[in-house]
Each structure stands twice: as C-alpha cells, then as structure tokens.
Amino acid sequence: MPIKDLVASLSDNPYFGAGAGLFGIGMFTALARKGTQMGMILFRRHCMMSLEVTSKDKSYYWLLNWISICGTHTQHLSVETSFSQSETGKINTTFDFVPSPGSHFFRHKSTWIRVERNREKQMVDFQRAAPFESVTLTAVGFNRSIYFDILEEARQLALQKQEGKTIMYTAMAAEWRPFGYPRRKRPIDSVVLDEGISERIINDVKEFTQNSKWYMDRGIPYRRGYLLYGPPGCGKSSYITALAGSLDYSICVLNLSEKGLSDDRLNHLLAVAPEQSIILLEDIDAAFLNRDLAKENPVAYSGMGRLTLSGLLNAMDGVASAEARIIFMTTNYLERLDPALIRPGRVDVKELIDHCTSYQLERMFQRFYPDEPESNAQMFSHKIHSLGKHVSAAQVQGLFLKHKDNPENALNDKNTAMFFNCDLCTVYYSSSNGVTVMGVMETGRGIYLQRRQALRRKGFVWHKAKSLSRLSEGGGNLSLSADNLSSWRPKSRK
C-alpha cells in the first residue's frame, strides 16, 4: 500500500487519532518538564546565588540564631537548650529556637531568601559527636554583599550577647565548645588577694602578651604557665576568671581527672584551644592522685582516664601558637605535684593564694560595706584574727552575705564565732574568797587569752576552761549562772 493511502486510512481511524493526540500531549508535557528543569538549573546557575554554611563553621550557630530572631517567621522550629549552674548552685536554663531542618523563606532588605537546613543522617561530625548539618541560603541576583551583610549581622548579634562577658569553653570529644551562657565579667578587684599578688600576676601576664616579638626572636615558645596553689575557697578560680575578663580572654576549662582523657586527646585539645583564651587546668594534683588509687584498686578504677604524667608534660611542652598561650593551673596540694610539672618553662609563676590576711579582711569588709568607717574594717579584721582560726575568703564572703544589710551583725562577736563554728568554752575564774564566774565564754584562743591576762591583772586565778559545745549547737547561750556550775567542781590551782 502506498504510504499516502496508509496515512489517509490512519487519519480516518478515530482510535489512531486519539492515541496520537495523547502521545503528543505526553511528549509535550515531558519536554515542558525537562525544559523547566533545565531552565531552573540554568536560572539557578546563572541568576541565583547560594551560600552553604556547614556545622563545622564558626558562623553556623550565629547564622541559625540570627535567622530565628531576624529572619524567618517559620512555624517549624528546633530547640537548643542551654544549661548552666552558677557557683552558688543556681541553675539557669534557656531555650533558643532555631529553624528546624527543611526549607524556610524570609525577606531581607527586599530580597527573598530561601533557607534550607539539612541534617545528614548518614554522616556524623565526630568532633561534635552530632549529625553533620548544613544551612544553604539561596537568593535571586548576583549581589554577594547580601550574604556578607547577613553574616556580619549574625556575628554582631552573637557578640552582643557576649559583650562584657567571659566565654567558658569545655572540652567535648576533640574540640572546645562554649559551656552554658557567657558569664558576666567579674571585676578583678572584687577578688581580694593578699597585698601585691594580683598586681604581680597582672603585670606578668600583660608583659607576656605584649612581647611576642621578644619570644619569636629568641626562639622561645610563646607560652607562659602560672600555678595558683593554696587552701580551698581562697579565690584561685575566681581570680583566674576575673583576670580573663579583664584581658578580654575566654577560658578553656579542662578537668584532668575526666574519664577518657588520653594523652593524645589532651595534646590535641591544647593545640586547638581557641585563640585569646586562658587554658585552666583545675586541681592538677587530682588526675595523678587517681592513678595512685587506681594502682591500689585496679577493679574500682578500671576504665578511668588514660592520661599519664609524661603525656601531660609533653602536651604542655607542645603548646605553641603565634598567639600568646597562657596556661593556669590550680591545686590545693602543691607538695603532691611532680617537680617536673612545675619546673620553669612549664610553670613560670607560682603564687600562694592563702587564707585571709588582715589586709584582705579589711579590704573585703570595705568592699561589702562601703559606707562603714575604716576603723570598723580594722575592728573586723582584728576580731577574725582573735578567733585563732584560719578563714578563707569564701567563708568571709558567706558571713557578709548573711549580714549583707547590717554590718553591725558582721562585727558582732557572737555572730562571727557562730559563723566560723568556733569551739565554745566556759571559763571559770575564782577570786581568793570563792568561785566567781567571770569569763563566760571564749570565742577563740585570741580573745580568751586577752581576757585571761586582764583578769589575772585584777587578781583572779584561772581554774579551767571547759569545752561545752559548739556555739551553733548550744543555741548561742552565752551567760552562765552559778546553777550551771553545780555539776562541776573546779580544781584549785596551787
């Protein structure tokens, strides 16, 4: 059959006509779809700009935070909870909402921007021990500055939160992560150390940070180690935090007795610590104390950290950076430290932060009660010394907090004795013609001795001081009458 006839017969066939029509429509739709896809790809490639920020990048959380505050009004949010516990034990929990994984749109300076937050299920960011994530911003046009603007705004927003604050970092797996919210900077003079100590440390740190060239020229590693040692509660940690604030540094706190801290991990952490930060190794003796206990009782301590002294020494020696690297260590037991750990080069400055001296007591009193005359500060210092007890600044702070609105109470013998839990004694004196109760109590050896001497001068003979009870238990009953003496017979002293 000639082709002409075949075409004529097919065109008369209604089934064929319908099939050809459907085929044509399908073809057209497929081509249109393909064309749109190609068009979109070409449009994206040539007319749109996108920016990908991965969770490994520092600006990742700044950006998410910025988007949730200034950008999208999406109803699909994820929560980021920050938890911090202050030294007083108070717990602060705050929720931040960030866009959840998926697509969101927002308008920035008359440009529509699409935000796509992706969470990879298959990939884990080992540094953060969390799924790998990324955020992609896409906008029409070629104006790159829009992304610079956004990143800059996000950065400023994040830094605003940190202004006047000290960021604390803690070690998470192999990286440093901010711990809780940045803390308000503590004024350095609010930590009252003994005369000259604070000035010595500040001058040394400043001299060090301003002399990088001196170190470079002589090929000396640009790092400096400080050791603050002394009894608990005397201000070692508080001082380091205040110092970091005054230098505008952050603090990287590392607990050497943490389970699973190996030599390699410590080495890595010290090498990647954020710039402009103080590395704080607290209670440095504790890490190796555990090791001794572990030797004695391997079962109880199995699985404890694998940090060795030589690992710590090597890690400290390896700390090198173009930036000034400052390491602070604290301990309550200097004598427990290995001499190799505190030799010059590892520890360049050692300072004893001890119990309160008169200088500190007076200054603390004046800081807490600025309207009180200086003579009261001196009286307070005298009273505390006469208790015959070593008191830490933390204890003194506690006493002031208890009587924060009433300095008279902080100066009261009974209150101070009660607060510092002094052993109370009833003191019996006799005159030559019989027992007379004179010295009712002593709040400490200092006061007691003074009274004794005064009484002796008046001709009284001291018989015995009998420890009755702690004042806190005794309810502060200071007066004695003859009845109290009935069960007690003083031995006369020849």
Applying CB under 6 A, the residues found at the interface with ligand ATP are 87, 191-193, 232-238, 330, 332, 353, 393-394, 397
**Which residue's CB is nearer to ligand ATP, number 65 or number 237?**
237
Classify 41 as helix, strand or coil: helix
**Which residue's CB is nearer to ligand ATP, number 326 or number 425?**
326
**Which residue's CB is nearer to ligand ATP, number 146 or number 193?**
193
Cα separation, 172 vs 176, in Å, equals 6
**Which residue's CB is nearer to ligand ATP, number 238 or number 257?**
238
Q: Calculate the alpha carbon distances from 173 to 84, 242, 268, 269, 283 in Å.
A: 19, 27, 10, 9, 21
Q: Calculate the alpha carbon distances from 138 to 39, 59, 134, 344 in Å.
A: 17, 17, 13, 55
- Least distance (Å) from ligand ATP to the CB of residue 188? 10
- Least distance (Å) from ligand ATP to the CB of residue 470? 23
Question: What is the enclosing helix (H) or strand (E) of 255?
Answer: strand 250-255
Nearest to 188 by CA among 260, 142, 246, 102: 246
**What would the two tokens of residue 346 be?**
């590892």
- Least distance (Å) from ligand ATP to the CB of residue 235? 3
- Least distance (Å) from ligand ATP to the CB of residue 58? 30
CB–CB of 194/354 below 8 Å?
yes
Cα separation, 251 vs 271, in Å, equals 15
CB–CB of 231/391 below 8 Å?
no
- Least distance (Å) from ligand ATP to the CB of residue 223? 22
- Least distance (Å) from ligand ATP to the CB of residue 269? 21
**Which residue's CB is nearer to ligand ATP, number 253 or number 315?**
253
Cα separation, 353 vs 232, in Å, equals 9
**What would the two tokens of residue 79 be?**
């929560």
**Which residue's CB is nearer to ligand ATP, number 71 or number 225?**
225
- Least distance (Å) from ligand ATP to the CB of residue 277? 19
Taking the alpha carbons of 344, 347, 348, 350 in that order, is the dihedral positive or negative?
negative
**Which residue's CB is nearer to ligand ATP, number 306 or number 367?**
367
**What would the two tokens of residue 308 be?**
């060795």
**Which residue's CB is nearer to ligand ATP, number 74 or number 381?**
381
Q: Calculate the alpha carbon distances from 125 to 82, 86, 94, 119, 172 in Å.
A: 20, 30, 25, 11, 12
CB–CB of 442/425 below 8 Å?
yes
Q: Calculate the alpha carbon distances from 307 to 197, 265, 272, 342 in Å.
A: 32, 9, 18, 17
69 contact partners, CB below 8 Å, separation of at least 6: 157
Cα separation, 311 vs 283, in Å, equals 17
- Least distance (Å) from ligand ATP to the CB of residue 334? 12
Classify 488 as helix, strand or coil: coil
- Least distance (Å) from ligand ATP to the CB of residue 237? 3
**Which residue's CB is nearer to ligand ATP, number 225 or number 439?**
225
**Which residue's CB is nearer to ligand ATP, number 78 or number 366?**
366
**Which residue's CB is nearer to ligand ATP, number 332 or number 472?**
332
Nearest to 344 by CA among 209, 226, 208: 226
For tokens 């410590």, what's the residue?
266
**Residue with nearest beta carbon to ligand ATP:** 235
Cα separation, 223 vs 278, in Å, equals 11
